[in-house]
Amino acid sequence: MTNKTTIYDIANRLNLTAATVSRALNNNPRISKATKKLVLETAREMNYEPNKLALALKKGRSNNVGVVVPYINHSFFSTIIRGIEEELHPKGYHVIISQSHEEEDREGQTIKSLLNAQVEGILISVSRSTKNTEHLNEVVQKGIPLVFFDRKKDINGVSSVIFDDYQGGYQATKHLIELGCSRIAHFSGDRSLEIYQDRYQGYVSALKDHGKEPVQDLVLEIRSTAEDGIQAIKSQMALKNPPDAIFSSTDYGALGAITWLKNNGFNIPSDIRVVGFSNEPFTEFMDPPISSMDQSPLEMGRKAAQMFLEQVGKKSAWKEKRIVLPPNLIVRKSSS
């Protein structure tokens, strides 16, 4: 592996001091035009590349923005990242993407690394396991813009872009009720996370508003995997009085449920109706296509980036903002 050329290598080649080479490369007026020309030509010949981190430390600006998501391979988060990049790239910013893998410790280490890299802001969807917010508070204390998207923590002064998960849960359940469903099961996510708690509360409120009491046997907490969806629907269909509809807080849970139901001779939606959540790309191409709540991830990413741009470079404290994106139920054959 060849060593990178440094200003000291250029200085040795030209018999100049490293300080003179540095000033020449930075177009310092104290250096003659002839010396600048010689240094620049030699730097090109020797394939010299400036240390961008060192320059960032010197200038106090890196033009880098950190984005932290639980997983990058979920289309929801990758679409959010696309929205962030589409908004920030034309403004000259580069996005550094990191994954927490739903681990609080890993999230904290990632935040520390981003701060050491002199990022100008951090946009984050917090991990499922994050309880301690010390690493997030450190970002705020350093005066670096911090923006939450999708999943957030309540930290004073920190702006957020979230989805109206309560209304999403309400509308999905109401849709099934209006189709005549009377026993609607709910596959909830981890309700220690605000987004899943809100979806569950929307489900409960819709039932009560339509004269139906929630039945605890019809509520299961699952992970966002097709495998958990399969296990959940197996247990539901084994009940003495099984459900006639499923509202899953994730599309992966709905995918698992539909897979098992089809493999066991059930017709969808004649025998049982299914609604998912997030409008993952695969929902449109399933047989049958899955009804799902669209969360506008592209818009969420753009709004989060715009919040960062409003805050970056401001010396005085910025005002906390909260944007709540409205739900949009995409109705397909799995429910109607």
Q: Specify the pLDDT at position 330.
A: 97
pLDDT of residue 1: 40
Q: Which CATH superfamily is domain 63-163+297-325 in?
A: Response regulator (3.40.50.2300)
> In the prediction, which pLDDT does 233 show?
98
Q: According to the model, what pLDDT value does residue 19 have?
A: 85
Kindly report which listed range (30-39, 239-248, 289-298) carries the lowest average pLDDT score: 30-39
Under a CB-based contact definition with an 8 Å cutoff, are residues 66 and 121 in contact? yes
> Residue 145 corresponds to which tokens in the numbers above?
């813009």
pLDDT score recorded for residue 206: 98
The pLDDT of residue 18 is 84
Read off the tokens for 29.
């007026």
Q: What are phi and psi of 270, to 5 degrees?
A: -60, -45
CATH 3.40.30.10 correct for 165-296? no
User: Would you state the pLDDT for residue 59?
Assistant: 53
Q: Which two tokens stand for residue 272?
A: 């049982």
Top-ranked range on mean pLDDT: pick from 57-61, 129-133, 218-222, 316-320: 218-222
Q: Which amino acid is at 107?
A: E
CATH 3.40.50.2300 residue ranges of the chain are: 63-163+297-325, 165-296
Say if CB 94 and CB 63 are below 8 A apart: yes
Q: Is the pLDDT of residue 155 over 60?
A: yes
Q: What is the pLDDT of residue 73?
A: 87
CATH architecture of 7-50: Orthogonal Bundle (1.10)
Rounded to two decimals, the pTM is: 0.80
| Confidence bin at 54 (pLDDT 50/70/90) | low
Query: 255 or 318: whose pLDDT is higher?
Result: 255
Question: CB under 8 Å to 237, separation ≥6 — which residues?
Answer: 261, 264, 266
For the chain, give the mean pLDDT. Answer: 92
| Residue 27 pLDDT > 60 | yes
**pLDDT > 60? residue 246:** yes
Q: Which two tokens stand for residue 228?
A: 């958990």
Percent of the chain with pLDDT over 70: 95
Across the range 150-178, mean pLDDT stands at 96
Residues recorded for the chain: 336
